[in-house]
Amino acid sequence: MRFLVCVLWSFALTGLQAQYELRPGDAGGIGKWYMGREIAHTMCAAHAEWLDRPEREREERPLRMLERMQIAPTDRIADIGCGTGYHSLLMAARAPQGMVYAVDIQSAMLDSVFVRSQRAGLSNVDVVLGSTTDTRLPEGRLDKVLLVDVYHEFDHPVEMMASIVRAMRPGALLFLVEFRREDPWIPIKDVHRMHKDQCVREMAAAGLVWERSWNGLPWQHFLVFRKP
């Protein structure tokens, strides 16, 4: 019996690995490819001040983006790859009877989210240390998920998306925000940007249905997906 379980498990692992390709690419990439796209290096916590740069509001219009999420006061929202908590705190203020799960794989980032949420008097921010394959969120709990400038960094996108989709309730929405690869003038390296079609194909592979997009952000795609 144990032998059979081992064989089945190694078949499952081989199947997952087969979805990735290892070959050299961009200096900012990790040399691992998924669905024809090279995965980017993770932003290190040492560079986190870029996430809180004063010009971010003008360059990315996060407040307009949050309006489009139509956050309800009781929403349970995950900010996956929350970084220093830029969006987590703004969302928590809009969901006072709900909960924001601020998930990251770097504890230095989460320390900063914790301190900031305490200072802001927000008791509905829960910091969660995830792994590169698992959000460690409870199953079927989320109403909304926000992914800002992180999806292209997932070094195991198949496993991460499976974990995110598991944590969403049926009908829950996922908001994917990525720098537009289509617009060469946007001052972000290519490996950190994505084509809209690529985003839609990769979310479909994760079992999500593309619901709508909004073209109101200066630099980023804003794409909305639903869990059936």
Q: Binding residues for ligand SAM, per CB under 6 A?
A: 42-43, 51, 80-83, 86, 103-106, 109, 130, 132, 148-150, 153-154, 160
HEC string of 97-150?
A: CCEEEEEECCHHHHHHHHHHHHHCCCCCEEEEECCCCCCCCCCCCEEEEEEECC
Q: Which is nearer to ligand SAM, 7 or 218 (CB)?
A: 218
Q: Which of 62, 90, 100, 88 has the alpha carbon at shortest distance from 222?
A: 62
Min separation Cβ 149 and ligand SAM, Å? 4
Min separation Cβ 108 and ligand SAM, Å? 9
Q: Which is nearer to ligand SAM, 154 or 219 (CB)?
A: 154
Q: Which is nearer to ligand SAM, 10 or 107 (CB)?
A: 107
Min separation Cβ 105 and ligand SAM, Å? 4
Q: Which is nearer to ligand SAM, 54 or 228 (CB)?
A: 54
The count of residues in the chain is 228
Min separation Cβ 142 and ligand SAM, Å? 14
Q: Which is nearer to ligand SAM, 99 or 179 (CB)?
A: 179
192 in Cβ contact with 221 (< 8 Å): no
Using the structure block, give the residue that is written with the tokens 């997009």.
213
Min separation Cβ 27 and ligand SAM, Å? 17
For the record, the structure tokens of 84 come out as: 């220093």
Q: Which is nearer to ligand SAM, 29 or 130 (CB)?
A: 130
Rounded CA gap, 3 and 211, in Å? Answer: 44
For the record, the structure tokens of 126 come out as: 């829960």
Min separation Cβ 2 and ligand SAM, Å? 31
* Residue 145 burial (C-beta neighbours within 10 Å; 0-12, 13-18, 19+): buried
